[in-house]
Amino acid sequence: SNIDIKSKSTKERVMDILSNSQEKYISGEDISEKLGISRASVWKHINNLKKEGFDIESRSGMGYALKGKISNNLTPYEIKKNLNTEFIGQNIEYFETIDSTNMYAGKIANKSPEGTVVIANEQTKGKGRTGRRWISKEEEGLYFSLILKPEIAIVKASFLTQLAGAALVSAFENMGIDAKIKWPNDIILNGKKIAGVLTEMSAEIDRIFYIVIGIGINLYNENFDDEIKEKASSLLKEGYKVSRKDFLQEFFKEFEAMYREFLCDNRNEVLDILRKKSAVIGKEIYVIDGKKRKKAKALNIDSYGNLEVRFEDGEEKTVFTGEISI
Ligand code: BTN
């Protein structure tokens, strides 16, 4: 895969100038001279920054000023500051509101560099697995999608869902939170679901165009719909207050390290985490086969991330994730 180390964009430079002269007005002309760009271009970047949630005031004759408080800490500017990765999260598209970050990522994937992330403060049509909805109210959670373009065989692609799960629990662990993975891709805390992964792929029979890994995390939710009340929770409900920016930086770093290893065919660290942090190994589970549910014991996760189970009649079977659609 290609790894580009991106330098600061013009928009980021505009932001730097504004934040360096916090509160004080700086004229469009000064900014345009400092950066060697036109006034119109300064104006365009300022408008984009406003859309990202920055509180920038414009006054004729005076210029622009960044007001004391940044309205949220989820902007690309904030996330990319001190971000310790080479490509994951180095290109970010942020939306105050969008239908679904996965759907949008699918639309821009072909022309976007690997590692591009689409983040939204709110989703109006958040998608869960198997056609379910993912409730995505503003500022309650983290909703984002990662674009990947690995040159790998299609059979290996489903492992990326597992890898995302491992990176999620590692990021949580770095923040002192002991989350578990309910195979294949639910993240569990104190027995309740706090996050989910939806992986979608566009491919031909022998070639992957792109993979979109969508992640939704319940951060500050207080209430859940009746049908999921018993099974779902948020980090806040479980006693943790997590900043979206801090978490993303932690996650991007973990994901990138694991993804690099994966591309070199080394899955050991991820498998280690999947087994150590499994919420199902050794437990009684049900394997859903069409309309039937069959009781089984979860034995282990094999070296490709598939689940080995034993049914009550002694028959053993490997269960695959099989979630590759778009
Ligand atoms: C699940 O059903 O457990 C998976 C939920 C995945 C939700 C995330 S939120 C960001 C991304 N965009 C979507 O529309 N869905 C995923």
Q: In angstroms, what is the span from residue 133 Cα to ligand 1's centroid? A: 8
Two tokens, residue 50 = 């406003």
47: three-class secondary structure by DSSP? helix
Q: Does residue 145 line the site of ligand 1, with CB under 6 A?
A: yes
Q: In angstroms, what is the span from residue 176 Cα to ligand 1's centroid? A: 24
Query: Which of the two residues, 165 and 18, has the higher pLDDT score?
Result: 165
Q: Does residue 161 line the site of ligand 1, with CB under 6 A?
A: no
CA pseudo-torsion sign 247, 248, 253, 257: positive
User: Tell me: the pLDDT tens digits for 270-312?
Assistant: 999 999 999 999 999 888 777 778 888 999 999 989 999 999 9
pLDDT at 1 over 50: no
Q: Does residue 63 line the site of ligand 1, with CB under 6 A?
A: no
User: Tell me: the pLDDT tens digits for 36-86?
Assistant: 999 999 999 999 888 777 788 889 889 999 885 454 568 888 899 889 999
ipTM for the whole complex: 0.99
Q: Does residue 102 line the site of ligand 1, with CB under 6 A?
A: yes
Question: Cβ(303)–Cβ(295) under 8 Å?
Answer: no
Q: In angstroms, what is the span from residue 123 Cα to ligand 1's centroid? A: 10
pLDDT at 268 over 80: yes
Measured distance CA(252)–CA(117) in Å, rounded: 10
CA pseudo-torsion sign 106, 112, 115, 121: negative
Measured distance CA(119)–CA(109) in Å, rounded: 14
Q: Does residue 214 line the site of ligand 1, with CB under 6 A?
A: yes
pLDDT of 236: 94
Q: Does residue 247 line the site of ligand 1, with CB under 6 A?
A: no
Question: Cβ(312)–Cβ(296) under 8 Å?
Answer: yes
Mutate to test the pocket of ligand 1, among 123, 129, 134, 211 (most ligand atoms within 8 A of CB): 134
pTM of the full structure: 0.82
Buried b (16+ CB within 10 A) or exposed e, 247-256: bbbbbbbbbb
pLDDT of 72: 58
Lowest mean pLDDT among 14-18, 109-113, 199-203: 14-18
Query: Which of the two residues, 167 and 58, has the higher pLDDT score?
Result: 167
Residue 232 DSSP one-character state = B
Q: In angstroms, what is the span from residue 197 Cα to ligand 1's centroid? A: 6
Measured distance CA(300)–CA(318) in Å, rounded: 9
Nearest C-alpha to atom 3 of ligand 1 is from which residue? 196
